Amino acid sequence: MKKKCWVVYMLRCSDNSLYTGISKDVNKRLLAHNCGKASRYTRCRRPVQIVYLQQNFGHSAALKREFQIKSFTKKQKESLIIQP
């Protein structure tokens, strides 16, 4: 059986703020965020939606990328998001 890779994701919250995290199962994590059970930050900013995904990381690399994105300005984060 193939191991699941880690995913770095970014959510847009109802107040237009951005939240960055990592997970092996992004759909399950999104449900947890929208149920108010995933993070204190998103709990009062629901609903949230996924606006950015970067896949195929090992755990350490995913943590490093998450930290890097969290250090970006909002403008830099917005530039990662591909607008339809």
Mean pLDDT along residues 6-10 = 97
End-to-end Cα, the chain, rounded Å: 35
Per-residue pLDDT band for 82 (boundaries 50, 70, 90) equals: confident
Distance, CA of 12 to CA of 52 (rounded, Å): 9
Residue-wise pLDDT for 32-59, tens only, equals: 999 999 999 999 999 999 999 999 999 9
Scanning the chain, the segments in alpha helix (DSSP H) are: 26-34, 40-43, 59-70, 74-80
Q: What is the pLDDT of residue 83?
A: 63
Of 28, 27, 32, 34, the residue nearest 12 (C-alpha): 34
Per-residue pLDDT band for 84 (boundaries 50, 70, 90) equals: low
| Top CATH class, 6-74 | alpha beta
Tokens 């960055």 sit on residue: 20
Mean pLDDT along residues 25-31 = 97
Please state the domain extents for the chain: 6-74
Under a CB-based contact definition with an 8 Å cutoff, are residues 19 and 26 in contact? no
